[in-house]
Amino acid sequence: MFITIEGIDGCGKSTQSKRLSEWLEGRTHVKTIRTYEPYSFREFILSSRGISPMSELLLFLADRAEHLKRIILPELNEGHNVICERYNDSTLAYQCGGHGLNLSYVKNIIASCKFPEPDVKILLEINPELAYSRVLERHNSQDKFESEGLSLMKRVSDCYLNLEGYIVIHCSDMKEDEVFAKIKLELEKRL
């Protein structure tokens, strides 16, 4: 299975992806790999400041192409499960919702890249104010995207909610365990 986890910064993707990978490996008896994006050019991308949204888009797509080639596709071809934090919908939510590129234009570009579609997409939906306050508490919160603030998070969040094909988990009022229980329940239906 190829599973992606999406959501704004501070929604709890890493925590849930870790729990999910441990559970899924036990449940399916199939090796389960956790990964994330940006991956291949991560430091370069996260430290780039003042670049145009179009450059950003192309960097994230290049990053994805490499990530697929080096990690995701070899693991899937071995028959392993792959859980990836962020994928195509991050590009739509951030570069379009967040940074103003046209959504159908970017959807077409992504479609022409022919990146494989995930089997399951999970969206962790959370109140942007709550997520933002968590981000500010982190030590490493000074990268380009996080420093752009709450209004960016709100636009990104709205854009995510308009995308399709997700299991949406509304996390704002839930504890970590409750969020995970919901994810598990939804995945059980698909196994």
User: Which residues are at the interface with ligand TYD (CB under 6 A)?
Assistant: 9, 13, 37-38, 46, 60, 85-86, 90-91, 94-95, 143, 145-146
Minimum gap (Å) between residue 127 Cβ and ligand TYD: 15
Minimum gap (Å) between residue 146 Cβ and ligand TYD: 6
Cβ distance to ligand TYD smaller for residue 60 or 132: 60
Alpha helices in the chain (DSSP H): 13-28, 42-47, 53-67, 73-77, 88-90, 103-113, 128-137, 150-162, 176-190
Cβ distance to ligand TYD smaller for residue 152 or 187: 152
Minimum gap (Å) between residue 1 Cβ and ligand TYD: 20
Residues contacting residue 39 through CB under 8 Å, at least 6 positions apart: 63, 66, 67, 71
Cβ distance to ligand TYD smaller for residue 46 or 73: 46
In angstroms, rounded to a whole number, what is the distance separating the alpha carbons of residues 158 and 103?
13
User: Quick one: which of 87, 32, 85, 35 has its CA closest to 64?
Assistant: 87
Cβ distance to ligand TYD smaller for residue 138 or 170: 138
Task: Retrieve residue 133's tokens.
Answer: 């306050």
Minimum gap (Å) between residue 73 Cβ and ligand TYD: 17
